[in-house]
Structure 1
Amino acid sequence: MAGVTGIGSGIDIDSIVKTMVAAERAPKETQLANLEKKTTTQITAVGALKSAISEFQTALGGLNKPELFQARSATSSKADQVAVTASTKAGAGSYQVEVKELAASSKVALAAVKNTTDAPASFGAGSLEISLGIDGSFSVTVDESNNTLAGIRDAINKQGADKGVTATIVTDDEGARLVLSSSKTGADRDITVAATPDGALSEGQRSLSVLAFDGVEKPDDVAGPRILAKAQSAIISVDGLTITSPTNKIEGAIEGVTLDLKAKTAANEPLTINVAEDKGGVKKQVQSFVDAYNKLIGVINAQTKVTPVGDGKTPVTGALVGDATARTLLGTIRNELVNVQGDGALRALADLGITTQKDGTLKIDDAKLGKVMDNNFTELPALFTGDKGLASRLDAKLKPYTETGGILEQRNKVMTETISGIDKQREDLNRRVTSLQERLFKQFNAMDLLVGQLANTSSSLLASLENLPWAANNSKK
């Protein structure tokens, strides 16, 4: 029986079979484990390579934009008073800006009325027409369902939401007031309220006319309505020219420039707005290009490096050592980097102060790049952008590696299939080893049975021989 020490022969069949099976399994299992480890490492390496290439392509895309070189930087000498941004349409120049008035929105407090928790103010039915000047008006209906200050407040907030009007209740020394605020700035947008009572008043009710306000304060009426903030437009001067705007964000006063007004300037103390080419943004993008390239080279170097460990030991090798894909990619990129284009002052990266180091990475000479930015900025777009620009040429060389169905995807597919094949080979090995084990047990058990039978036969013969007459006489002697 499989797994049981031989009864007939006394041989440890179980131990022998297991040893023989293990000896048969070990070489193939080691081979599969090594192949799986190597393939898994290569899959990880190819994934890291693809990620680095994609990051480099992103940097190339950022560099291959004409608008990058058309961008403008805008600065304000007093950003806490006027913030500024500029589009590509802005012309380089310097401007003196004075903020004389900030745009403001309207805010009014309606007449005060007695209103307590125990005795809330109640109003008769009717409607309130809330006007916002040139921005139109809206109407609020008042009936027994909402004829308190809180009810009218909620109705105004609901109806005035799309008009930018909100209502709150503020209680001062004179009583409770509805305070109406508008989010719209600019002159001729003051809030006024017209009341139209409808029907007789019940006991204790006030007429809606109490809440009317024509926009004119009565100084002697302390409980009457008040103007808390008057709507007005922003007024600025640019190089002495007056500009009026309904909002504090002014576009178009200076072409391509947006001014965000924060505070008034002191009289006759204008601030300075400077608009220039955004050389800093271009330099930042060039640095991103170099950083992404260096990361890609770092990944390739790490995956193709052979590191000796001494003492005759096997060197440590990268997952892609000797890999044609990595070698070809590296050669293609390097060839494109040194490819000279055009006949201007800037024909290659070296003209910008970007050179290759011993380890294959790039380094920027900041002084030389700064000089190029100052003297040859208009020639930069031709070097990097367009179909013949460096960014497009490099991207074209990289696309076959990263696109769907490309070189790296195909490599990954083959390696994934290898892993799947290893799993199948393990299953086949397990079946083969199981079959071998069963066969060995059958053979050893058959041998054990035969040995047991022979032993029994031998014992019977010996017993028979001992019982023969001559054997008995001999035994007496």
Structure 2
Amino acid sequence: MVRVSGLASGMDIDELVKSMMQAARVPMDKLTQKKTYSEWQRDDYRSMNTALLELDTLIRDGIGKQASFIKKTVTVSNPNALSIKNVNSTSDFSGTIIVKNLATAATMQSNGETAISDPTAKLLAADSTEEIIKIQSINKDGVLGKEIEVKITADDTLDSIIQKINSTTDVTAFYDKNTQRMSFTAKYSGNVKDKENNVEIKLSSTGSFVSTTLKMDADNVTAKDASRGTTGEDAKVVYNGLEINRNSNTFTLNGAEFTLKDAKPSETITFSSKADVDAILDTVTKFVEKYNELIEKIKGKTSETKYRSFAPLTAEQRKGLSEDEIKLWEEKAKSGTLKNDSTLKSLLTTMRSSLYTSVSKLNGVNSLSKLGITTTSNYLDGGKLTIDEDKLRAAISEDPNAIYDLFMKEDSKKDGSETGEMGLARRLRANLKASMATITEQAGKAGSLNNNFTIGKSLNSLETRISAFEAKLTKLETRYYNQFTAMEKAIQRANSQSASLMQYFS
């Protein structure tokens, strides 16, 4: 459509239409501002859900794990010969151990220089048939494992074959270019349990590759008899007076992992454990700090001032402001999106109740106060926690498992119905999950479709209304221009008639 400017009337038609449309756009601007505000509110809800999830995850991976409370420091009289760490023992342990013999792995070496001088050269001639190396070795269970085949193709070099052997079998192969000799070592130490001639490594091939090219014996016992191999040996220790054998230098006894470093058959090594107070204290402290962060965030957002006179800026309003002015305006416009939110305020109440109510059917440590954890004296803190470190350290030293029970005790029915019997962390996680579910219904989460949550449905509705209003405004603007165009044409005709009359009378 061709629009006629005010050539005949002398009026600025574009400016007049723009001014008239400004008034007509007021309802449209309100819809756009409402949409922007809803998006801010949605994002703030999601940010709050992220904070709830962070606390929930910290509880799950921290005070919610028994492993966090069985951390121990272990003292060993000779750490150069033996190291011990706790794996899953819930009680302290102590005793003596004599390291009589370390576990060793079976080995075997070639009986002379191999027929290979260049490990990067292809092994087979172009017209040669493929060969297969067959390898058996002691496995992690201490028995001779099943036979594994390694195929030699026309493209293989010794280097590539060694790589295949090392990646697919339970032996480690090595070639020394200086001596042109091969060696094979079992990946698992110890003496084979089935006692089949004490063989821990067996080698063969479909052709003569193993015996002729690599110059290897058929097994490690044969190699040992010829002084070019060894058999595997078990570790032998005397643990609290009892002599025991293990096929590895690292093994677990009564929930503790022992690592043998050096044989000391004439030395009695003593060891003892106690709770790792610092590590457990750190776990509890991190929980308290994260809980306090969440309290502060919820309290801050639900009590934030709402500036009703600061609505989201329209595109037209932004044009007249600097970046700093826009930033300052939006700080106030975004404030109060979650003011007095019922879900969050209710969560504050339920979390306080969950943590401050003692756990029934627990003797001894049945409340946070028994650990030296209490609320701050300032009521404006909203129920933040504070720690008496000396009292908490004493409780950890006395019985760290009692602290785990305080946090994670299950109710007798194991269905969450007996909340009074539930550990404090279990209650708190239940509170968090319920609130996260409610907030997700309200604001969805990243990737959610708008029609799956309340604010999203409202945004869809606003989008529809905005689209309809834009179409309405386009029609209105067209009508204004049509009217002014008609006026301009009428003025032009009048001017033309006037000019004709003046010409006639002159």
TM-score (normalizing by structure 2): 0.69
2:393 paired with 1:370? yes
Comparing 230-239 and 87-96, the one that deviates more: 87-96
Q: Could you tell me how far 1:319 is from its partner in structure 2?
A: 2.8
Comparing 80-89 and 292-301, the one that deviates more: 80-89
2:41 paired with 1:42? yes
Alpha-carbon distance between aligned partners in 2 of 1:457 and 1:114, rounded to the nearest angstrom = 118
2:287 paired with 1:289? yes
Partner residue, 1:417: 457
2:419 paired with 1:401? no
Q: Could you tell me how far 1:137 is from its partner in structure 2?
A: 8.9
1:130–1:139 Cα contact (<8 Å) kept: yes
CA offsets, 1:377-416, max 9 Å, x none?
454344322232212222232332223xx34323442222
Q: Could you tell me how far 1:342 is from its partner in structure 2?
A: 3.3
Alpha-carbon distance between aligned partners in 2 of 1:331 and 1:355, rounded to the nearest angstrom = 16
Alpha-carbon distance between aligned partners in 2 of 1:47 and 1:177, rounded to the nearest angstrom = 65
Alpha-carbon distance between aligned partners in 2 of 1:164 and 1:395, rounded to the nearest angstrom = 46
Aligned partner (choices 383, 392, 407) of residue 426 of structure 2:
392
Aligned length: 433
Q: Give percent identity, aligned residues only.
A: 23
Partner residue, 2:449: none
Partner residue, 1:3: 3
**Structure 2, unaligned stretches of length 5 or more?**
125-130, 193-197, 308-327, 412-421, 445-452
2:190 paired with 1:186? yes
Alpha-carbon distance between aligned partners in 2 of 1:196 and 1:64, rounded to the nearest angstrom = 56
Structure 1 pair 65–298 and aligned structure 2 pair: CA distance change class (3 A): closer
Q: Could you tell me how far 1:273 is from its partner in structure 2?
A: 2.6
Q: Could you tell me how far 1:375 is from its partner in structure 2?
A: 4.0
Partner residue, 2:484: 444
Aligned partner (choices 301, 304, 309) of residue 303 of structure 1:
301
Root mean square deviation of aligned Cα: 4.6
2:110–2:217 Cα contact (<8 Å) kept: yes
1:297-336 equivalent positions in 2, closer than 5 A: 297-306=295-304, 316=332, 317-336=335-354
CA offsets, 1:318-345, max 9 Å, x none?
4312322222222222233222443854
CA offsets, 1:271-308, max 9 Å, x none?
43323456555434322321331232232134234369
Q: Could you tell me how far 1:39 is from its partner in structure 2?
A: 1.8
1:24-423 equivalent positions in 2, closer than 5 A: 24-25=24-25, 27-62=26-61, 65=64, 67-68=66-67, 71=70, 73=72, 75-77=74-76, 78-89=78-89, 91-113=91-113, 115=115, 117=117, 135-136=143-144, 164-170=170-176, 176-187=180-191, 189=198, 211=217, 215=222, 225-252=226-253, 255-261=254-260, 263-266=261-264, 268-277=266-275, 282-306=280-304, 316=332, 317-342=335-360, 344-357=363-376, 358=378, 359-360=381-382, 361-375=384-398, 377=400, 379-385=402-408, 386-387=410-411, 388-403=422-437, 406-412=438-444, 413-423=453-463
2:13–2:484 Cα contact (<8 Å) kept: yes
2:102–2:249 Cα contact (<8 Å) kept: yes
2:475 paired with 1:435? yes
CA offsets, 1:419-475, max 9 Å, x none?
3333333322321221111111222222333334444555566666x58xxxxxxxx
Alpha-carbon distance between aligned partners in 1 of 2:215 and 2:9, rounded to the nearest angstrom = 121
Q: Which amino acid aligns with 1:322?
A: N
**Structure 1, unaligned stretches of length 5 or more?**
200-204, 219-224, 468-477
Q: Could you tell me how far 1:193 is from its partner in structure 2?
A: 7.5
2:95–2:240 Cα contact (<8 Å) kept: yes
TM-score (normalizing by structure 1): 0.73
Q: Could you tell me how far 1:22 is from its partner in structure 2?
A: 3.0
Structure 1 pair 457–292 and aligned structure 2 pair: CA distance change class (3 A): same
1:82–1:260 Cα contact (<8 Å) kept: yes
Comparing 153-162 and 391-400, the one that deviates more: 153-162
Partner residue, 2:447: none
CA offsets, 1:1-39, max 9 Å, x none?
8532234433332331222123422x2344234323322
Alpha-carbon distance between aligned partners in 2 of 1:2 and 1:435, rounded to the nearest angstrom = 15
Secondary structure of the equivalent of 1:380?
helix
Partner residue, 2:20: 20
1:129–1:138 Cα contact (<8 Å) kept: no
Alpha-carbon distance between aligned partners in 1 of 2:224 and 2:21, rounded to the nearest angstrom = 106
Q: Could you tell me how far 1:50 is from its partner in structure 2?
A: 0.7
Secondary structure of the equivalent of 1:6?
coil
CA offsets, 1:67-92, max 9 Å, x none?
44873525243555433233445652
1:3–1:13 Cα contact (<8 Å) kept: no
Q: Could you tell me how far 1:46 is from its partner in structure 2?
A: 0.7
Q: Could you tell me how far 1:64 is from its partner in structure 2?
A: 6.9
Comparing 381-390 and 37-46, the one that deviates more: 381-390
Structure 1 pair 79–434 and aligned structure 2 pair: CA distance change class (3 A): farther
Secondary structure of the equivalent of 1:329?
helix
Alpha-carbon distance between aligned partners in 2 of 1:287 and 1:162, rounded to the nearest angstrom = 47
Alpha-carbon distance between aligned partners in 2 of 1:294 and 1:194, rounded to the nearest angstrom = 64
Q: Which amino acid aligns with 2:184?
A: L
Greater strand share, structure number? 1
Alpha-carbon distance between aligned partners in 2 of 1:135 and 1:299, rounded to the nearest angstrom = 59
Q: Which has the larger radius of gyration?
A: 1
Secondary structure of the equivalent of 2:340?
coil
Alpha-carbon distance between aligned partners in 2 of 1:39 and 1:416, rounded to the nearest angstrom = 9
Q: Which amino acid aligns with 1:449?
A: K
Partner residue, 2:416: none
